[in-house]
Amino acid sequence: MPICLKKDKNIEEREFKLELDDSLTGYKHHVFVIVGARLVQVYTRRDTGLIMAALASSEGKGTTGAVDPSWPAFYGDLHRKYIRELGKKTESYEYQVTEHLRLSGVYWGFTAMALLKAETEMEPESVVEWVLQGYRTVVIAGSSQPGTKVMGGGWGGNIGHDVHLLYTTSAVQILAICNALDRLSKEQVTAIVHLISSLQQEDGSFAGDKWLEIDTRFSYCALLTLSILPDIELNDVIDLPAANAFVASCKNFDGGYGCVPGAESHAGQIFCCVAALSIGGALDSIDRDQLGWWLCERQCDSGGLNGRPEKQADVCYSWWVLSAMAILGRLDWIDKEALIGFILRCQNEEDGGIADRPGDEADIFHTFFGFCGLSFLGFFERSGLDHMAVDPTFAMPVDTVERLKLKCQSYFTARTIKSEDA
């Protein structure tokens, strides 16, 4: 029988038993915190410190909702300076080795700044110009009439590079965040849709480009990009039921998802699948408790999250794991205090930026995902810092998602526009 920590002492034990028997069988080794008649937190029994904190909180002495004095400070000004200067250090090692994915780098940096409400420091107009400059057309297969060419359009990792779905997604996201989707011509939007439709395979899966590598990451990118583009209905341009069915077929016995059917569960892949099913309106195919459990088990002793069992904690899983948990409405299953502490310890206190783990070199990828984690965990709110929440399905600031009226199935509640009934 699980242990229950009760905040409201008037509630009878048997009422908990009823609730637990109904929906929480199989959690024998866990501790449940129940406030009123609502389950608010689940801990494993080894988390003795947390359980004591929850008990203290239930007595009115807890620190939940406040800033923990043991956390390092959040170096917002330094991070902004770090991101602003990244694009200028063109001789640096980091700049050189990330040349092939510059578009994604700009997306991470720009969106990170938007979460701090500092995107104007990134000169949005020149970012938009640079993105539009990188657009390319490609001839794609799929024309039914011999001799006629179908034109597709999209972006490569940098100007002049081959078009790939990953970078096409980043480009469209940047334009969306900058409120510049209307800078794409009708012909360009049609060509991007053609490109994405042409990448869908018979079994519903998506390839990333003409080399036909299949991966559930590309399913997410396809659905995400199409849902952002103006005046496009998913059902009109792709086989949506097949797309959802393919993602669902990548589910494993542990509740997680891999890159193709039968591939090992991995948090990055799980995010892509959960978010794809969220956009595709097929969230019901997920066992939220089983997957929520696999995801919350990713928390290590350091407070950080890993991507698979037995791996080291890494800040980027504060995005991959938490965004999936946010969509599934299971964020409360994480020890938020410990994870906030871990992310803050990964900051570079001298030059700004966030690293994968404490003491490592900061980079823009982990900086962005660190901010996202802090957003999901409510850190900015608790600290009174001006910020914009990130949306877990669309990986863009909530105000962008609301402005574009993007629809999905989700249990995420920070948006003021209600998601479709999930």
> Which residue ranges make up the site for Zn ion (CB under 5 A)?
314, 316, 356
Measured from the CB of residue 316, what is the shortest distance to Zn ion in angstroms?
A: 3
Measured from the CB of residue 137, what is the shortest distance to Zn ion in angstroms?
A: 34
Instruction: Closer to Zn ion by CB, 124 or 373: give it.
Output: 373
Measured from the CB of residue 357, what is the shortest distance to Zn ion in angstroms?
A: 8
Instruction: Closer to Zn ion by CB, 209 or 356: give it.
Output: 356
Distance, in Å, from the CA atom of 113 to the CA atom of 77, rounded to the nearest integer, reads 11
Measured from the CB of residue 66, what is the shortest distance to Zn ion in angstroms?
A: 29
Distance, in Å, from the CA atom of 171 to the CA atom of 174, rounded to the nearest integer, reads 5
Measured from the CB of residue 20, what is the shortest distance to Zn ion in angstroms?
A: 36
| 3-state secondary structure labels for all residues of 348-396 | CCCCCCECCCCCCCCEHHHHHHHHHHHHHCCHHHHHCCCCCCEECCCCE
Instruction: Closer to Zn ion by CB, 357 or 407: give it.
Output: 357
Measured from the CB of residue 307, what is the shortest distance to Zn ion in angstroms?
A: 8
- Amino acid letter, 219: S
Start-to-end Cα distance in the chain? 30
Element (H, E) at 5: strand 3-6
Instruction: Closer to Zn ion by CB, 209 or 314: give it.
Output: 314
- φ, ψ of residue 24 to 5 degrees: the values are -125, 35
- Amino acid letter, 169: T
Q: Is 225 exposed, middle or buried (0-12, 13-18, 19+ CB in 10 A)?
A: buried
**Closest-CA residue to 328 (of 379, 368, 293):** 293
**Closest-CA residue to 200 (of 244, 147, 155, 167):** 244
Task: For the beta carbon of residue 305, count every other beta carbon within 10 angstroms.
Answer: 29
Instruction: Closer to Zn ion by CB, 199 or 316: give it.
Output: 316
Measured from the CB of residue 72, what is the shortest distance to Zn ion in angstroms?
A: 19
Instruction: Closer to Zn ion by CB, 124 or 307: give it.
Output: 307
- DSSP alpha helices (H): ranges in 134-184? 165-177
Distance, in Å, from the CA atom of 139 to the CA atom of 402, rounded to the nearest integer, reads 34
| Residue sitting closest to Zn ion (CB) | 316
Measured from the CB of residue 371, what is the shortest distance to Zn ion in angstroms?
A: 14
Instruction: Closer to Zn ion by CB, 282 or 313: give it.
Output: 313
Instruction: Closer to Zn ion by CB, 110 or 319: give it.
Output: 319
Is residue 154 within 8 A of residue 169, CB to CB? The reply is no
